């Protein structure tokens, strides 16, 4: 027999509970909706909206209540449902990886704009679709759940992506997410510290590194500081420690004309620009701001002729359909382990 209350009442009550737990009104409303659909077995939002005035299905309260209780304790909703949508695809998440943030989608957007430009030109010239996507080699540094690597492989059919991380737990998620989206043959999961295990050359290096200043960690929302991995958040005293290492490593492994794109935090734009401009191999191409107008993604291009240096080696091989050799490549899917340096979020640097 169905529960006597209607769905709308149960969901509204859950929303109020989440608000009293300190979650903002808009986020509480969204979370109550997401958790209700999860408890209902994965209903689409349209179905839920159409059923709001109907009685709760049998077993709904028993499924919904523990989910709401977990969110009341500020566990991230992505951890509770085990999935977060990112760039139009479902990404598995859980303890050991950051929940993908909306601002990280800007990183994918900028990478696609640069790496798919030849494809767009080919389509305009009337070439066959199979010829429209050039082979490109990409390194996703600090891949975490693999959301960026998987999204790029999904939307760039000619791309081969090295998904690199230092945490075994995180790379397990990356491997599963690549398989879930059918791109496991083009996403190579690699255990490593930044680009140290990679020979290159790459056409692009993308990264969502740890960039929260250490002293700001305590001020992050409870769902971030209490649940998400500190190694993926803590960027050292000024938040730029990992970025200082990433920039020269990327310069040494990018092809002439290749792109370095990475996320950074609130108030770090000038520091990031100084780090990039101190590397002679790079040309600074500015930043991309989020919807709030906060600069979030840095863009730099490897000079075709390095400043003060010789022209590029004409023998440098062209992009291949595969990836450069990786000394620390994880073994087979079953035994592979993995790691993470992912992204943080909106507020003090935090997200969702």
Most confident stretch, 46-60, 113-127, 271-285 = 271-285
Query: Sorting pLDDT into bands at 50, 70 and 90, what band is 63?
Result: very high
Of all residues in the chain, what percent carry a pLDDT higher than 90?
77
Least confident of 145-159, 232-246, 302-316: 302-316
- How far apart are the C-alpha atoms of 68 and 29, rounded to whole Å? 12
Q: Would you state the pLDDT for residue 19?
A: 97
For residues 262-282, average pLDDT: 97
For residues 168-187, average pLDDT: 97
CATH class belonging to 85-302: alpha beta
CA 183 to centroid of chain Cα atoms: 16
Rg (CA), the chain: 22
Query: Sorting pLDDT into bands at 50, 70 and 90, what band is 5?
Result: confident
Tell me the per-residue pLDDT of 146-158, one tens digit each, with 9 for 90 and over.
999 999 999 999 9
Q: Would you state the pLDDT for residue 117?
A: 65
Centre a 10 Å sphere on the Cβ of residue 66 and count the other Cβ atoms it contains. 12
Q: Which residues contact 50 (CB under 8 A, 6 or more apart)?
A: none
Within the chain, strands assigned E span 83-86, 89-92, 136-141, 159-165, 187-191, 202-207, 254-263, 282-289, 295-302
Tell me the per-residue pLDDT of 10-32, one tens digit each, with 9 for 90 and over.
999 999 999 999 999 999 999 99
Query: Sorting pLDDT into bands at 50, 70 and 90, what band is 133?
Result: low
For residues 208-235, average pLDDT: 96
Q: Between 295 and 199, where is the model more confident? A: 295
Query: Sorting pLDDT into bands at 50, 70 and 90, what band is 338?
Result: very low
- Mean of per-residue pLDDT scores for the chain: 85
Nearest C-alpha neighbor of 82 from the set 72, 71, 97, 92: 92
Which residue ranges make up each domain of the chain? Answer: 7-73, 85-302
- How far apart are the C-alpha atoms of 177 and 42, rounded to whole Å? 19
CB 226 within 8 A of CB 71: no
Cα angle at 191 between 232 and 252, to 5 degrees? 85
- How far apart are the C-alpha atoms of 68 and 63, rounded to whole Å? 9
Q: Would you state the pLDDT for residue 199?
A: 81
For 68-99, b/e burial (b = at least 16 CB within 10 A) is: beebeebbbbbbbbebbebbeeebbbbebbbb
- How far apart are the C-alpha atoms of 131 and 118, rounded to whole Å? 10
pLDDT surpassing 70 at residue 55: yes
Of all residues in the chain, what percent carry a pLDDT higher than 70?
80
For residues 58-85, average pLDDT: 96
- How far apart are the C-alpha atoms of 324 and 138, rounded to whole Å? 10
φ, ψ (nearest 5 deg) of residue 63: -85, -40
CA dihedral 130, 136, 141, 143 (to 10 degrees): 10
For residues 58-65, average pLDDT: 96
Tokens found for residue 43: 């209903």
For residues 91-113, average pLDDT: 96
- How far apart are the C-alpha atoms of 189 and 338, rounded to whole Å? 7
Return the H-helix or E-strand segment holding 14: helix 7-20
pLDDT surpassing 90 at residue 347: no
Tell me the per-residue pLDDT of 281-309, one tens digit each, with 9 for 90 and over.
999 999 999 999 999 999 999 998 755 44
């Amino acid at each position: 027999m169905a529960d006597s209350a209607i769905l709308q009442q149960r969901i509204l009550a859950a929303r109020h509970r989440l608000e009293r737990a300190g979650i903002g009104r808009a986020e509480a409303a969204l979370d109550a909706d997401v958790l209700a659909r999860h408890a209902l077995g994965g209903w689409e939002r349209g179905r839920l909206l159409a059923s709001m005035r109907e009685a709760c299905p049998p077993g709904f309260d028993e499924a919904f209540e523990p989910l709401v209780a977990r969110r009341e304790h500020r566990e991230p909703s992505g951890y509770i449902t085990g999935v977060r949508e990112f760039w139009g695809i479902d990404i598995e998440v859980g303890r050991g990886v950051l929940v993908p943030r909306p601002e990280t989608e800007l990183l994918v957007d900028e990478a696609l704009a640069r790496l798919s430009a030849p494809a767009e030109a080919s389509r305009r010239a009337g070439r066959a679709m199979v010829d429209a996507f050039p082979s490109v080699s990409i390194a996703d540094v600090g891949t975490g759940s693999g959301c960026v690597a998987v999204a790029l492989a999904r939307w760039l059919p000619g791309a081969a992506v090295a998904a690199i991380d230092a945490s075994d737990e995180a790379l397990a998620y990356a491997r599963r997410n690549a398989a879930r989206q059918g791109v496991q043959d083009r996403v190579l999961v690699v255990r490593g510290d930044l680009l140290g295990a990679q020979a290159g050359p790459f056409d692009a290096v993308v990264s969502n590194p740890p960039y929260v200043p250490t002293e700001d960690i305590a001020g992050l929302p409870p769902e971030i500081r209490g649940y998400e991995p500190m190694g993926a958040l803590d960027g050292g005293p000024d938040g730029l420690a990992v970025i200082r290492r990433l920039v020269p490593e990327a310069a040494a492994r990018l092809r002439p004309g290749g792109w370095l794109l990475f996320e950074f935090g609130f108030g770090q734009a000038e520091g990031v620009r100084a780090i990039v401009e101190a590397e002679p191999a790079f040309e600074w191409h500015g930043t991309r701001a989020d919807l709030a107008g906060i600069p979030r993604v840095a863009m730099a291009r490897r000079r075709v002729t390095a400043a003060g240096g010789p022209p590029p080696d004409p023998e440098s091989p062209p992009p291949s359909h595969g990836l450069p050799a990786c000394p620390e490549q994880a073994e087979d899917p079953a035994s592979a382990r993995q790691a993470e340096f992912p992204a943080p979020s909106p507020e003090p640097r935090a997200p969702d």
